[in-house]
Structure 1
Amino acid sequence: MYTDYSITANQRHYTCMIDLLGRAGQLDEALNFVKNMPFEPDAATWGALLGASRIHGNAELGEKAAKIIFEMEPDNSGMYILLSNLYAASERWDDVRMMRLKMRHTGVKKVPGYSWVEVQNKIHTFSAGDSCHPDKDRIYAFLEEMDLRMKQDGYVSSTKLVLHDVDEEEKVHMLKYHSEKLAVAFAVLTIPPGIPIRVMKNLRVCQDCHNAIKHISKLVGRLIILRDSNRFHHFKGGSCSCGDYWNGNHLLLRNSPMYATGKF
């Protein structure tokens, strides 16, 4: 950066590099990068390390990063959730319950996730398992049909993302009706073919929904644009413009079929 473009790397650049190393599974190198960076690591830096620890199931490193983050930002609900996710992925259910109690005692609240889509100048909002929408029967029937077709297309539910101590069948059921899936289903049913579908979500899209919407875009032949709390995702023909990078799959962006076209 400096040699070719005269750009001096700042703290955000270092945090991005730590995130890249962590997602690629090079956790030791990422930690060394944190220790040797010419800045005092902030909560975002340690958060990148915690996120990588969750992806690769390194509870020891994740706990170390979380402890430092909680000292810096005791009200950062996202970091509590990340650590809780890490425990859940390791089936450490007692620790998951401990985290929930800690959040309750410290007054930290998890922001509920919801998604919305505009159809004919009206905003339709959905939460997970929503049963209030007037078209709920059509939406749920469509998702059931899509579920069968997606499985035939190679889709597998990411049940490891379910943060509850329940059996596998219940986990699959819980994943099926996330808010972004409901919003996408409603949009497919109501927005005429040829018009891009645009869905918004207040939180980051989960890995399972990201995978499912890729399959849906292919099966229904629609461009689906999902704006979550991090970025725009353009789903088309079974691929996403992010190359799956932003959803825990440590694929490099250049592996995305859309990378070469510049269609981000």
Structure 2
Amino acid sequence: MPFEPTAEIWSAILGACRVHSNKELGEIAAQKLLQLNSLNPGNYVLVSNVFAASGRWKDVEQVRMKMKGSGLKKTPGCSWIEIGNKLHTFIARDKSHPNSDEIYQKLAQITEKLEIEGGYVPQTKFVLHNVEEEEKVEMLYGHSERLAIAYGLLYLPVGTLIRITKNLRICGDCHTFCKLVSRFFGRELVVRDANRFHHFKDGVCSCGDFW
């Protein structure tokens, strides 16, 4: 390159390395990104996630400490859905919504149907925390977009398109979950995450499973 690569460039390279499982180049990109002392918390989270995916929990802790020392905080996952001209906000594992009990009950019913009819099995590899398998499953089930989907299925008329906005990139397991919902509940979903629009219909996503 005719100029020094920026944090954004190393971040893009690191993201590509994660997609294509290039650990050698990913290690270089991660170290370069950390050396730049970026003030973007997303870069630290990306590096942390790459280390976590490889089970390098000591490195994960070091990255988190470095991030904390820089006064940065990870942005919590948040999803929005508009129903009846009112915007409803959900945070991961959130129970502050006035209809929380009903939402979680509906989500449990959805998940059970997808497990029985769609063969859904939670992909805990997408939970990048050093916790037991059972807790990883619970964390996946509490992702904000699932709460928004459950609320949409509860209160939007049958056949109505469900539109959701998410501030972070949708995880691979939730992506599978959305495809199955579109197929086994006969509902189209549009999820706008931090990267792109995902249009789910009849068990297929417009991104072609590459996001």
TM-score strictly above 0.5: yes
2 CA distance for matches of 1:60 and 1:245? Answer: 22
Q: Give the equivalent residue in structure 1 for 2:38.
A: 74
* Matching of residue 136 in structure 1 with residue 113 in structure 2: no
The residue matched to 1:112 in structure 2 has which SS?
Answer: coil
2 CA distance for matches of 1:73 and 1:234? Answer: 36
The residue matched to 1:69 in structure 2 has which SS?
Answer: helix
Give the conservation status (yes or no) of the 8 Å contact 1:57–1:86: no
Identify unmatched segments of 5+ residues in structure 2.
none
Q: Give the equivalent residue in structure 2 for 1:124.
A: 88
| Displacement after TM superposition at 1:73 (Å) | 5.6
* Matching of residue 175 in structure 1 with residue 159 in structure 2: no
Supply the AA of the counterpart residue of 2:64: R
Higher relative contact order (CA 8 A, sep 6+): 2
| Displacement after TM superposition at 1:42 (Å) | 3.5
Structure 1 residue aligned with 2:155, among 180, 185, 190? 190
Supply the AA of the counterpart residue of 1:242: C
Q: Give the equivalent residue in structure 1 for 2:78.
A: 114
The residue matched to 1:208 in structure 2 has which SS?
Answer: helix
Q: Give the equivalent residue in structure 1 for 2:60.
A: 96
Give the conservation status (yes or no) of the 8 Å contact 1:70–1:76: no
Q: How many residues align?
A: 210
Q: Give the equivalent residue in structure 2 for 1:156.
A: 121
2 CA distance for matches of 1:156 and 1:55? Answer: 21
2 CA distance for matches of 1:48 and 1:151? Answer: 35
- TM-score under structure 2 normalisation? 0.92
Q: Structure 1 residues 205, 189: CA separation in 2 closer, same or farther (over 3 Å shift)?
A: same
Q: Which moved more, 1:61-70 or 1:121-130?
A: 61-70
1 CA distance for matches of 2:22 and 2:63? Answer: 17
Highest Rg: 1 or 2?
A: 1
Output one character per residue of 1:155-212: Cα deviation in whole Å (capped at 9) or x when no partner.
2212112122111111111100100010011011100012211111111111111111
Q: Give the equivalent residue in structure 2 for 1:11.
A: none
CA RMSD of aligned residues (A): 1.8
The residue matched to 1:245 in structure 2 has which SS?
Answer: coil
2 CA distance for matches of 1:186 and 1:222? Answer: 13
Output one character per residue of 1:202-235: Cα deviation in whole Å (capped at 9) or x when no partner.
1111111111111111111011111112211111
Give the conservation status (yes or no) of the 8 Å contact 2:76–2:92: no
| Displacement after TM superposition at 1:88 (Å) | 1.2
Q: Which moved more, 1:123-132 or 1:41-50?
A: 41-50
1:1-264 superposed matches below 5 A: 41-72=5-36, 74-152=38-116, 153-246=118-211
1 CA distance for matches of 2:3 and 2:131? Answer: 43
1 CA distance for matches of 2:84 and 2:125? Answer: 37
Q: Structure 1 residues 74, 44: CA separation in 2 closer, same or farther (over 3 Å shift)?
A: closer
